[in-house]
Amino acid sequence: ITFPFAMKSKNDQYISLVNNEVRVQIDSLTVYGGHNLSNPADNCTFTLHRTNCNKPPIEENETIAWNTRICFQWHCNIYEHAIRVENCWVGSKYHPVYLITADGCSSETTMISTPRYDSKMQKALSLGWLSVRQVGFTYLRLKCHIQICHVCDDECTLLTPPMNCTDYSNSYNHYRQVNFWNSSSYFNETCNFTSSSRNDPVSLNLYLFLIIHLFYHYFMS
């Protein structure tokens, strides 16, 4: 006779847990890679936005429901560097639920989409929900890593955007190199200038001559 009531009690507890609104504690980003960078994380941000990315960031004291639609936004303002978001988890350090893999793809596409990147690959956006709940906790921890690479490194073209993610379309994967790298005037101009300056002694000498000439003109005359 008591069994149905016990089951009802457990069901009520489950429903109550799921319906709880919780805060989200965003841990500091772990940022690594790149060329000659000091404290790159200082130039990176990770914010959550309710409903869409045009809304203001969710504040620390705000709560979210299991069905709150969230825009996840990562941004690193680091000159001549691109980013890849990876190793994101939610929950707790000892009981994490991984959202984004070490390869930069979503591991839970029903909760979060694989990040989409802007043309300079310094900003990434995902849409999803944080429907994870933990007994006895009124908040969720959210942790992400960002790997950065110099845009003129050949390895960078293989790193970001990530490849072969299950929720990327076939056309996206097929034209990834063309759309993000080969057709980018920003990368072509940056890397061609860097390459020619490093490899052409005439260009380098001319560049140094101009610097010396400008210095003399403004400070010695």
Averaged pLDDT, 81-101: 93
Could you write out the DSSP letters of every residue in 91-159? E-SSSEEEEE-TTS-BS-TTTBPPPEE-TTSSEEEEEE------TT-SEEEEEEEEEEEETTSHHHHHH
Per-residue pLDDT band at 193 (split at 50, 70, 90): low
Would 24 be classed as within a structural domain?
yes
Would 96 be classed as within a structural domain?
yes
Averaged pLDDT, 27-52: 95
Would 88 be classed as within a structural domain?
yes
Q: For the ranges 17-26, 107-116, 148-157, which has the lowest average pLDDT?
A: 17-26
Q: How far apart are CA 144 and CA 135, in angstroms?
A: 23
Which CA distances in Å does 141 have to 20, 39, 83, 97, 136?
A: 15, 23, 22, 10, 14
Would 64 be classed as within a structural domain?
yes
Which CA distances in Å does 209 have to 199, 212, 214?
A: 17, 5, 9
The residue among 133 and 29 whose pLDDT is bigger is 29
- What are 98's two structure tokens? 């991984």
Per-residue pLDDT band at 181 (split at 50, 70, 90): confident
Q: For the ranges 29-33, 105-109, 154-158, 186-190, which has the lowest average pLDDT?
A: 186-190
Question: Is it the case that residue 95 has pLDDT exceeding 60?
Answer: yes
Taking a C-beta distance cutoff of 8 angstroms, is the pair 28, 95 a contact?
Answer: no
Would 194 be classed as within a structural domain?
no
Which amino acid, residue 125? Answer: L
Q: Which are the contacts of 31, defined by CB distance < 8 A and separation ≥ 6?
A: 40, 41, 44, 76, 145, 146, 147, 148
- Cα dihedral angle (89, 54, 50, 75), rounded to 10 degrees? 20
Taking a C-beta distance cutoff of 8 angstroms, is the pair 146, 86 a contact?
Answer: yes
Q: What are the φ and ψ backbone dihedral angles of 52, each rounded to 5 degrees?
A: -150, 170
Give me the pLDDT at residue 189, please: 81
Give me the pLDDT at residue 57, please: 97
Mean model confidence pLDDT for the chain: 83
Per-residue pLDDT band at 172 (split at 50, 70, 90): confident
- Whether the CA torsion 4, 138, 113, 93 is positive or negative: it is negative
Averaged pLDDT, 33-60: 94
Would 128 be classed as within a structural domain?
yes
Range from 13-17, 71-75, 157-161, 213-217 that averages highest in pLDDT:
71-75
Would 50 be classed as within a structural domain?
yes
Query: How many domains does the structure of the chain reveal?
Result: 1
Averaged pLDDT, 28-48: 95
pTM for this entry: 0.78
Provide the residue range defining the domain that includes 122: 10-187
Q: What is the CATH number of the domain that holds 150?
A: 2.60.40
Averaged pLDDT, 194-201: 44
Beta bridge partners of 139: 23
Question: Is it the case that residue 206 has pLDDT exceeding 50?
Answer: no
